[in-house]
Amino acid sequence: MTTSAQDPKVILIIDDNEQIRTLVRRALQSKGYIVLDWANPKAAIDHLANVPEPVSLALIDGVMPQMLGPDVAGELTRLRPGIPIMLMSGHEAPMFEKFFQAPNRHFIAKPFVITDLLTRIGRVIETGSS
């Protein structure tokens, strides 16, 4: 999905793995998305709390040293009700059962094929379902 210049979509990536952030950021930027990426989830939350920038989707690692992905999702939802959130993890989805109880929650297993991730992100932004 390529966005138009009049309607750029902003994707927030929160993952402590720099290689994953770089790979995903480059792929998203190549499709016209604006990408904000953070290694530290608390810094990302603080940024969103202080900047009214619209975010079309948050892509969050499921397990990070500073916070678990579902906890980050809860904070982002508190700041931006209705924000679509996609959790990405090498752990099984059932581990995150509580995460899926809220609306607009999506999951992709690591490792993933980057084209699959791009397709799913485009679908979530356009239709609300992955």
Q: Judge contact between 47 and 38, C-beta under 8 A.
A: yes
In a domain, 87, yes or no: yes
Domain extent at residue 97: 10-127
In a domain, 2, yes or no: no
In a domain, 110, yes or no: yes
Q: Distance (Å, rounded) from C-alpha 85 to C-alpha 111?
A: 18
CA 32 distance to own-chain centroid: 16
In a domain, 43, yes or no: yes
Q: Distance (Å, rounded) from C-alpha 17 to C-alpha 109?
A: 15
Number of separate domains in the chain:
1
CATH classification at residue 80 = 3.40.50.2300
- Give the residue ranges of the chain where pLDDT is below 70: 1-6, 130
List 13's β-bridge partners, or say none.
37, 59
